[in-house]
Structure 1
Amino acid sequence: MADSIVDVGDGRALVATDQRKGDVISPTRAVLTLSKSMFNAGCFSLPYAWKLGGLWTSFVLTFFIAGFNWYGNHILVRSSQHLAKKTEKSALDYGHFAKKVCDHSSIGFLQRNSKSVMAVVNITILFYQLGMCSVAILFISDNMVNLLGDYFTGTFHEKMVIMATIATVFILITNMFTEMRIISVFAMISSIFFLIGTAVIMQYTVQRP
């Protein structure tokens, strides 16, 4: 009874804690999802890129480019949070963020064409993602041909087309999901395969003369 009295007397007991609702994931799953979007099979090309660019030049430019990347994202996030709060929105994606920037601009042309700007931004991101997926599709197809190529007839090019079509279908299906809870599961599964592939590649690399 005494404990309950103390709890009631505590001011914190009178303040309701804010809990996020809806499509919410844990911090651990968020970190795994973010790390999967940053670290993928493309990181294996970095050593070769460093070799072509020169050791010290590549070393300095890595920090230089990463710094600009961080600063640009920092401005983008802060601006998005400011506009979301100003327009009483929980969050803004890229397209709606561009629209809100135009809506609050002092330039009449941008205000009148805010929806067109939003469409341009969304289309640009679509092609950007398509370009990223095209590299992934070629990478996946090449590995699938090495693993399963004996089960198909035809030239190497024809096998690549078949594998690329299969990979594209699976990529389209997985990209239909927009809930972070589901995306985080895909990211965790992908991270497991990524770690397995990393172990195999590192073992093969170390054993080379």
Structure 2
Amino acid sequence: MLKGSLGTGILAMPEAFHNAGYGLGIFGTLFIGALCTYCLHILIRSQYILCSRLRVPVLNYPDTMVEAIEIGPQWLRRFKNASRHIVNAFLIVYQLGICCVYIVFVATNIKQVVDEYWTHLDVRVYMVMLLPPLILLNYIPNLKFLAPFSTAANVMTFVGLGIVLYYLFGTGVPHIGERNVIGELSHFPLFIGTTLFALEAVGVVSI
């Protein structure tokens, strides 16, 4: 949960606050965080209740949807088989979207460093360079072999966050009056998307 909710997305939160303004950003982040937590709580509680009724140890998301519809309103029960495919489709789109965002995020940051100290290359070049190691990682069948990579990722995330905080507070914080309390309304969807990217981790809980 911690790794899923506090990954590299947290490093994108300054951009989210830039889009929403610091006032709206604070309240918006709290609201979105509370909403995500509440929805996840309902989902996990529903899984727990269904597992107890069916006397099974665990249910994945598609099975949870099917069983919930099975004991739900009569007019919904005819859609129970289709609901499994709908849930799987949403999970696939969600995971693909997250993976795409991560690749763009990592490639953009690598490009910024390389541009500063070496040469200028298109960001798509770095995306292509990232694909082979990422594909190879997905071929690892046992999750225990990924533990060292996860540990290294945690360390790098906190180091990166520390660097951000150092430059934020160590080099002088701009006066708060120079920042917008409420950003432009047209940028608010970007704030919502970035915040959800940083906080939401439903796909790593129980699929």
TM-score range, shorter chain: 0.5 to 0.7
**Greater Cα shift, 173-182 or 191-200:** 173-182
Change (3 A) 1:55 1:143: closer
Change (3 A) 1:174 1:86: farther
Change (3 A) 1:166 1:92: farther
2:157 maps to 1:194:
yes
Alignment partner of 1:49 out of 9, 12, 16: 16
**Greater Cα shift, 62-71 or 80-89:** 62-71
Residues 1-209 of structure 1 mapped to structure 2, 5 A cutoff: 34-107=1-74, 110-147=76-113, 156-157=121-122, 160-176=123-139, 181-182=144-145, 184-208=147-171
In the alignment, structure 1 segments of 5+ residues that lack a partner are 1-33
1:102 to partner: Cα distance: 2.2
> Secondary structure of the residue that 2:69 maps to in structure 1?
helix
> Secondary structure of the residue that 1:165 maps to in structure 2?
helix
> Secondary structure of the residue that 1:91 maps to in structure 2?
coil
Change (3 A) 1:55 1:162: closer
TM-score by length of 2: 0.68
1:123 to partner: Cα distance: 1.2
Compute the RMSD of aligned alpha carbons: 3.0
> Secondary structure of the residue that 1:156 maps to in structure 2?
coil
Paired residues, number = 172
TM-score by length of 1: 0.67
Query: In 2, Cα distance between the equivalents of 1:116 and 1:76?
Result: 19
